[in-house]
Amino acid sequence: MKKLLHSILWLLSLALIMGAVPAKASSNLSVSGRAAVLMEQKTGRVLFEKQAHTPMRIASITKIMTAILAIESGKMEKEVLVTERAVRTEGSSIYLKPGEKIKLKDLVYGLMLRSGNDAAAAIAEYVGGSEEGFAFLMNQKAAEIGMLNTYFSNPHGLDNKEKHFSTAYDMALLTRYAMGNDEYKKIAGTKVHHFPDPEENWDREWRNKNRLLSMYRFCTGGKTGYTKRAKRTLVTTAKKGDMELIAVTLNAPDDWNDHIQLFESGFASFRMAEILPKGKLDFQKQPYKDGELYIDSPVLYPVTSGEESKLTIDYKLLEPTENKFPGGSKKQGALAGKAIILLDGRAIKTVPVYFNPKKNRKTGYLDEFKHFITLAIGIKGNG
């Protein structure tokens, strides 16, 4: 039930994002990538796009999905027995050996930092039972996240399957989802990972292929990719102040500079505006005489300087009957309605509004007892 509720809330949020007011980081911004997206992490607002919804080959950025499924399996500390089939996977490798046992966690590090296709295959066999079974899980998760123009056929992104594609926008959605997981965030941002080699007297060392972690001081993680047919693909994340951004480029010969340019333009053109502060909502006329309305977290949204005056809020409040809201009694934390944030007349975000009743003047048993004792000893007598 909890997982279903999470999926429903994610899809509702996605529906608002897809209907949100489009924006551009800069009218002069140009990238080498055939497709590109710059997305703000907290809200999912697209700040720049180029052929964002065009299905294309994605190469090893596929492994973002492989990594998050491995993490969500809850088996990161379990040992995986590496098969001959996994070792024979072509392309980039972390040089696994048939029959060796390695923690799933270390496989994910090898997957993300060194882009090991053998690691991807070993993860798929362990978590999904087979590569085909794992591909089913990948597409199931893609549908849950709202990746409408994506289909996965393998866990690594190799060109060995014709039906394996995504879009810049869908990969930004996936990265936004994955970055909500603390373990994924840590792995994606790790520059070097060490762990013991059972057959040697020294540790294995894996250095991250994501050069942007060293090139750009605000970079927090990402994943590289390349195949002959997909060309260079890249997903990176960056944080500056209270703003977190996701950049995706597909078929981009100058991807490192593309991403730096996207981030710099985004950070310069937008700021995270606090549209609604956390706490009590102030109205000219309070809707309910017996209590106050509040929101439980501040509402932030990335806007340009010219957009701030176009932000408005529309409140849709429930009408209580017999001292009850349609969803329950008028108690602390009862859902009393929603606040719809609009930018230039278009809904961009909806947040729940809660009810806080005024303190009950009736005293409890302890207060009544204290009052009785006070009167008995004459402190509050006849004056």
CATH classification at residue 139: 3.40.710.10
Residues 237 and 203 in one domain: yes
Instruction: Please classify residue 139 by burial: count the beta carbons closer than 10 Å to its beta carbon, then call 0-12 exposed, 13-18 middle and 19+ buried.
Output: middle
Give the Cβ contact number of residue 300 at 10 Å: 18
Residues 211 and 314 in one domain: no
Residues 204 and 264 in one domain: yes
Return the bridge partners of 334, or none. Answer: 355
Q: Is 60 a catalytic site residue? A: yes
Closest-CA residue to 181 (of 96, 67, 90, 317): 67
Residue 125 structure tokens: 């066999």
Alpha-helical runs (H) found in the chain:
2-18, 63-72, 84-87, 104-114, 117-128, 131-145, 168-178, 182-188, 212-215, 255-269, 365-376
Q: Spell out the residues 6+ positions from residue 82 whose beta carbon is closer than 8 angstroms to its own.
A: 96, 97, 98, 99, 100, 101, 102, 118, 122
Pairing of strands 279-280, 271-276: unpaired
Residues 226 and 331 in one domain: no
Q: Is 305 a catalytic site residue? A: no
Q: What is the pLDDT of residue 370?
A: 54
Alpha-helical runs (H) found in 19-103:
63-72, 84-87
Residues 351 and 250 in one domain: no
How far apart, in Å, are the Cα atoms of 238 and each of 23, 96, 215, 277, 327? 19, 32, 12, 25, 40
Among 115, 153, 166, 265, the active-site one is 115
Q: Is 63 a catalytic site residue? A: yes
Residues 252 and 222 in one domain: yes
Among 50, 63, 231, 349, the active-site one is 63
Residues 238 and 306 in one domain: no
Give the Cβ contact number of residue 19 at 10 Å: 10
Residue 373 has pLDDT above 50, yes or no: no
Q: How many domains does the chain have?
A: 2
**pLDDT tier at 195, thresholds 50, 70, 90:** confident
Among 50, 60, 153, 231, the active-site one is 60
Residues 149 and 263 in one domain: yes
- CATH number for the domain spanning 348: value is 2.30.140.30
Q: What is the pLDDT of residue 5?
A: 41
Q: What is the pLDDT of residue 367?
A: 53
CA–CA separation, 324 vs 67, rounded Å?
46
Mean pLDDT calculated for residue range 242-267: 98
Mean pLDDT calculated for residue range 59-80: 98
Q: What is the pLDDT of residue 290?
A: 83
Residue 95 structure tokens: 């040089």
Is residue 231 marked as binding?
no
Q: What is the pTM of this model?
A: 0.85
Mean pLDDT score of the chain: 88
Q: What is the pLDDT of residue 378?
A: 46
Residues 150 and 223 in one domain: yes
Q: Which domain holds residue 323?
A: 274-357
